């Protein structure tokens, strides 16, 4: 009887202990939920405050500080409060148990503690010198986001909007120059910065300022990520002041394309694996393998993005009647666009490149097939997502200066990085502009080159690439330096854009169209547009006669109706335009100028029988 009473007492105590543990677990879950809500509320309030201040700045016509710089300032203030205003709320075991593993650490760890099993998830490596500095503030730990959040959620709408809102007429007119700056310029900048920073690292070793390993490949990786420009501040001011359209296209096109090049280039440098014991020395076979990786990833991402855009255009053009249901049409457009990024990443390509070219293709083809309501919805949807995501990232940058736990501030490295990026930018812009001017009919003027040199701001892409991997000493130093470079360029160069435009005497001008643009326009207008959209001349009038059955099959019935409508209206306006064109041509007009006038005259949107026609040179902005 006594034994039974004793066992009952033990069972009761055990049940009571289990109940207390469950209650403690529920309280921890509630506290964690509360902290998550506070963190999200903090960012929402930051964005709200940023929006209200932006309205005030626009109302007062303040241009010395852009919204992104403002978001960083607010993020800095909140970071100071979180860092120094909230006491430590959790405690860690300062003497962790030691064990040896034959393989790397597992992603999930199960521990048996007093007969109970607990699951732990791997967060990353902690340097031995930082074992006593593990963050004890739960709020600061929770406000530090997983880097994949930036790549999978915040970057896609920013990059897609860049392609979807592209001013195609100016972009394609300067396509050759943009590609040169984006590919050759980014490669030059990467290797110049990488080699200069390698010299800085050697100097740090001599003076005893380098406490851990920093290889040549690390320097090249830093050169790749910091070569990603983001002149969002400059371009916003260009829009407000109506600065030169072709200078805008050069800067915008270079920044959009070089973001894509920088991320693929950084992936290629990471993939550089020489044979032998020393994996950080130069090896010719490994170098050419990295070049092959670069070309393969970029071309594969480009094809995947363009193919997704074409598939979406065909779905909205041939296989469905989604234009009758604008909500479904907009939803499908959104999902197809976002899935491009994830599909490319899942296939081992780069989602940034894929979603960029998907956006360009969607704007060029799918946009023409959308209903009028869906065109407005898609533009406004991605514009809002782009605005919120970009300002969220810049707010987080300010926050990260105080909440990130592994900052390494090295004055020599930071100063060397600033000098290196200016030298790299100069060796990018000026020599390439000189070479481009040898073949350009309308030269890139000196003041344009100076403005492009000045507008080499760093922003969201450089930050996202730097924060993606901060496990090693070298990567932590890169992240801290990248953060400071972004702050400086956005605040100083962004704020100095307006006086720089005045000092360089840059105004709104009009230039001739490039031969590459004319060639692409002819092919696209006569063949691609009729296949993928309802606009353009019917294929029966552009393809040879023996292709008649195929042309009839591929051409939309509405294209014939549109062609008849355009022909009627063209005849009424033809007599009025003929005299003025003859007078202008007799006064010394060139064929390029005549083509430019023809293209400009077609830059209008036409509504015919419920079909929205957008010519390929239209600017959807």
Could you tell me which residues come within 8 angstroms of residue 121 by beta carbon, excluding any fewer than 6 positions away?
Answer: 107, 108, 109
Q: Which of 104-108, 267-271, 426-430, 579-583 has the highest mean pLDDT?
A: 426-430
Confidence of residue 516 (pLDDT cuts 50, 70, 90): low
User: Which of these ranges, 87-96, 125-134, 576-585, has the smallest mean pLDDT?
Assistant: 576-585
Tell me: do 302 and 433 sit in the same domain: yes
Number of structural domains (the chain) is: 2
Tell me: do 539 and 484 sit in the same domain: no
Q: What is the DSSP string of 546-588?
A: GGHHHHHHHS-HHHHHHHHHHHHHHHHHHHHHHHHHHHHHHTT
* Mean of all residue pLDDT scores within the chain: 76
Is 85 among the domain residues?
Answer: no
Is 67 among the domain residues?
Answer: no
581 has a pLDDT exceeding 50: no
Tell me: do 421 and 322 sit in the same domain: yes
To the question of pTM greater than 0.85 for the whole model, the response is: no
Distance CA 358, CA 162 (A): 11
pLDDT: which is higher, 281 or 175: 175
Domain boundary among 452, 471, 504: 504
pLDDT: which is higher, 12 or 182: 182
Is 366 among the domain residues?
Answer: yes
Quote the pLDDT of residue 418.
95
Tell me: do 483 and 547 sit in the same domain: no
Tell me: do 161 and 288 sit in the same domain: yes
Quote the pLDDT of residue 546.
62
379 has a pLDDT exceeding 80: yes
Is 118 among the domain residues?
Answer: no
Tell me if 168 sits within 8 A of 364, measured CB to CB. yes
Tell me: do 461 and 364 sit in the same domain: yes
Tell me: do 449 and 484 sit in the same domain: yes
Quote the pLDDT of residue 591.
44
Confidence of residue 241 (pLDDT cuts 50, 70, 90): low
pLDDT: which is higher, 95 or 39: 39
Tell me: do 365 and 477 sit in the same domain: yes
Summarize pLDDT for 119-165 with one digit per residue, the tens: 777 766 665 555 555 555 566 666 777 778 878 888 899 889 988 88
Tell me: do 534 and 496 sit in the same domain: no
Mean pLDDT of all residues in 355-368: 88
Tell me: do 545 and 483 sit in the same domain: no
Tell me if 119 sits within 8 A of 108, measured CB to CB. yes
Quote the pLDDT of residue 417.
95
pLDDT-above-90 percentage for the chain: 18
Confidence of residue 195 (pLDDT cuts 50, 70, 90): very high
512 has a pLDDT exceeding 60: no
Distance CA 547, CA 539 (A): 9
Summarize pLDDT for 449-473 with one digit per residue, the tens: 998 898 888 888 899 889 888 888 8
Tell me if 121 sits within 8 A of 134, measured CB to CB. no
pLDDT-above-70 percentage for the chain: 66
SS3 118: strand
The enclosing H or E element of 605 equals strand 605-608
Confidence of residue 590 (pLDDT cuts 50, 70, 90): very low
Is 302 among the domain residues?
Answer: yes
Distance CA 230, CA 427 (A): 18
Distance CA 602, CA 598 (A): 7
CATH code of 200's domain? 1.20.1530.20
Tell me: do 563 and 419 sit in the same domain: no
97 has a pLDDT exceeding 80: no
Q: Which residues face 613 on adjacent strands?
A: 606
Is 37 among the domain residues?
Answer: no
Residue span of the structural domain in which 523 resides: 516-573+602-621
Measured in Å, how far apart are the chain's first and last C-alpha atoms? 87
60 has a pLDDT exceeding 90: no
Domain boundary among 480, 504, 528: 504
Quote the pLDDT of residue 431.
94
Summarize pLDDT for 247-264 with one digit per residue, the tens: 888 888 888 888 889 988
Tell me: do 445 and 541 sit in the same domain: no
Is 400 among the domain residues?
Answer: yes
Is 434 among the domain residues?
Answer: yes
- Using CA of residue 272, residue 273, residue 274, residue 280, what is the dihedral sign? positive
Quote the pLDDT of residue 18.
57
Domain boundary among 483, 504, 525: 504
Summarize pLDDT for 401-444 with one digit per residue, the tens: 888 878 889 999 999 999 999 999 999 999 999 999 988 887 88
Quote the pLDDT of residue 458.
87
Quote the pLDDT of residue 592.
46
Quote the pLDDT of residue 531.
62
């Amino acid at each position: 009887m006594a034994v039974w009473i004793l066992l009952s007492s033990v069972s009761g105590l055990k049940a009571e202990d289990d109940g207390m543990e469950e209650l403690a677990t529920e309280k921890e879950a509630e506290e964690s939920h509360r902290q998550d809500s506070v963190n999200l509320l903090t960012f929402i309030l930051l964005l709200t405050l940023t929006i209200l201040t932006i309205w005030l700045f626009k109302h007062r016509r303040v241009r010395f500080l852009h919204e992104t710089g403002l978001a960083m300032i607010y993020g800095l203030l909140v970071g100071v409060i979180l860092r120094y205003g909230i006491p430590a709320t959790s405690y860690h075991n300062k003497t962790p148990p030691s064990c040896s593993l034959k393989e790397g650490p597992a992603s999930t760890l199960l521990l048996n503690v007093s007969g109970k099993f607990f699951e732990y998830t791997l967060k990353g490596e902690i340097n031995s010198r930082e074992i006593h500095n593990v963050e004890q503030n739960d709020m600061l730990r929770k406000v530090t986001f997983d880097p994949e959040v930036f790549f999978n959620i915040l970057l896609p709408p920013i990059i897609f909007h860049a392609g979807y809102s592209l001013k195609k007429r100016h972009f394609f007119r300067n396509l050759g120059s943009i590609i040169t700056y984006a590919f050759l310029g980014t490669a030059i900048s990467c290797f110049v910065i990488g080699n200069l920073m390698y010299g800085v690292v050697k100097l740090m070793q001599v003076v005893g300022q380098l406490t851990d390993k920093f290889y040549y490949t690390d320097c090249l990786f830093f050169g790749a990520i910091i070569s990603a420009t983001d002149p969002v501040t400059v371009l916003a001011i260009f829009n407000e002041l109506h600065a030169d359209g072709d200078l805008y296209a050069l800067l915008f096109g270079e920044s959009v394309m070089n973001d894509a090049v920088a991320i693929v280039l950084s992936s290629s440098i990471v993939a550089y694996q020489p044979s032998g014991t020393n994996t950080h020395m130069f090896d010719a076979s490994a170098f050419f393998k990295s070049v092959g990786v670069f070309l393969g990833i970029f071309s594969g991402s480009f094809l995947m993005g363009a193919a997704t855009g074409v598939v979406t255009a065909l779905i909205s053009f041939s296989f469905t009647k989604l234009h009758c249901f604008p909500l479904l049409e907009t939803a499908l457009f959104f999902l197809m666009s976002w899935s491009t990024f994830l599909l490319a990443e899942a296939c081992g390509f780069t989602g940034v490149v894929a979603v960029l070219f998907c956006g360009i293709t969607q704007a060029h083809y799918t946009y023409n097939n959308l209903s009028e309501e869906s065109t407005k919805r898609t533009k406004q949807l991605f514009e809002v997502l782009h605005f919120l995501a970009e300002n969220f990232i810049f707010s987080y940058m300010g926050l990260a200066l105080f909440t990130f736990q592994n900052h390494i501030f090295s004055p020599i490295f930071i100063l060397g990085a600033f000098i290196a990026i200016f030298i790299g930018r100069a060796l990018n812009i000026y020599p390439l502009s000189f070479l481009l001017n040898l073949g350009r009919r309308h030269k890139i003027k000196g003041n344009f080159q100076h403005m492009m040199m000045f507008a080499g701001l760093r922003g969201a892409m450089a930050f996202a690439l730097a924060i993606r991997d901060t496990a090693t000493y070298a990567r932590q130093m890169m992240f801290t330096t990248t953060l400071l470079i972004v702050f400086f360029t956005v605040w100083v160069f962004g704020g100095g854009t307006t006086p720089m435009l005045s000092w360089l005497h840059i105004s709104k001008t009009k230039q001739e169209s490039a031969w590459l643009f004319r060639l692409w326009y002819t092919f696209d207008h006569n063949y691609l547009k009729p296949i993928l959209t309802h606009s353009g001349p019917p294929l029966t009038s552009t393809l040879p006669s023996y292709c008649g059955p195929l042309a009839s099959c591929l051409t939309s019935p509405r294209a014939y109706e549109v062609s008849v409508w355009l022909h009627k209206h063209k005849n009424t306006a033809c007599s009025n335009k003929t005299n003025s064109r003859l007078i202008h041509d007799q006064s010394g007009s060139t064929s390029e100028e005549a083509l430019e006038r023809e293209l400009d005259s077609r830059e209008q949107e036409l509504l015919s029988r419920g079909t929205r026609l957008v010519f390929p040179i239209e600017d959807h902005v």
